[in-house]
Amino acid sequence: MKISLITVSYNSEDTIEETIQSVLSQKGVDIEYILIDGASSDNTLSIIEKYKDRIDVVISEKDNGIYDAMNKGLQLASGDVVGILNSDDVFAYDEVLLNISKLFLDSEIDGVYGDLVYVDRFDLEKVKRKWVAKSYIEGAFLKGWMPPHPTFYVRKGVYDDFGLFNLDFTSAADYEIMLRFIHKFKIKLDYLPEVMVKMRQGGQSNASLLNRIMANREDKRAWEVNDLKPGKFTLLQKPLSKITQFLKK
């Protein structure tokens, strides 16, 4: 089994090397590593160049945002399973992809996800929040549930059948695609109950109150574009569910 792993970067000189090293240190699994850069103007490309002979695909060109770049990577992916590791993130240990691949040996499984920790930007050992995803129960999206997108791996055929990221979204395309795959098309999931990814604290949708309001509007639109109806409190429960992440450090 081959896993296609996509990293998207733009002016990521402070973090990209740790991300690349994290991918290249994965053991016991066949990896196709695809790195899509948005024409960085800092030292990102020179850092990538150091590892170019160990990265299967490197593209650096202007794009229309992070989700457009992710779609470029998805269109190039040739693996059986596809995942995305952002240029701010690292794997929690060096057998994450091996453990994911073991779950995909069950031919009934379409997707796998796990837990994630938010860490200090300058100290990856300092945990700020812990996202324990828990096992999926059908209808959980109606109660505000979603898996951490950086831990979300699906068979390539899922993207082929149900589509790529919707570029009409600026901050919630990851929520929309998981809502579409899991809630609408009911792909079969398995849960890896361990921390898979360390994610540096920050992020566009949580950067300010205004961004959070805009993200909530996009969450609502994610249901609308899929001809789905959220529950009465779904869009409120989604951000409120994150409160417990601060209690599980």
pTM comes to 0.93
Spatial distance between the Cα atoms of 158 and 206, rounded to a whole number of angstroms:
28
Token pair, residue 187, equals 């792909």
Q: What is the DSSP letter of 122?
A: S
Q: How much is the pLDDT for 209?
A: 46
**Other beta carbons within 10 Å of 116:** 24
Percentage of residues in the chain with pLDDT exceeding 90?
A: 86
Helix (H) or strand (E) holding 96: helix 96-103
Q: How far is CA 208 from the centre of its chain?
A: 21
Q: What is the DSSP letter of 197?
A: E
Contacts of 30 (CB under 8 A, 6+ apart): 1, 2, 3, 79
Spatial distance between the Cα atoms of 11 and 42, rounded to a whole number of angstroms:
5
**Tell me: the pLDDT tens digits for 88-144?**
999 999 999 999 999 999 999 999 999 999 999 999 999 999 999 999 999 999 999
**Tell me: the pLDDT tens digits for 15-44?**
999 999 999 999 999 999 999 999 999 999
Spatial distance between the Cα atoms of 187 and 111, rounded to a whole number of angstroms:
7
Percentage of residues in the chain with pLDDT exceeding 70?
A: 93
**pLDDT > 60? residue 208:** no
Contacts of 155 (CB under 8 A, 6+ apart): 80, 81, 82, 104, 110, 111
Q: How much is the pLDDT for 3?
A: 98
**pLDDT > 50? residue 204:** no
Where on the phi/psi map is residue 152: left (φ > 0), alpha (ψ -120 to 50), or beta?
beta
CA dihedral over 48, 49, 55, 56, signed as positive or negative: positive
What does CATH list as the number for 2-247? 3.90.550.10
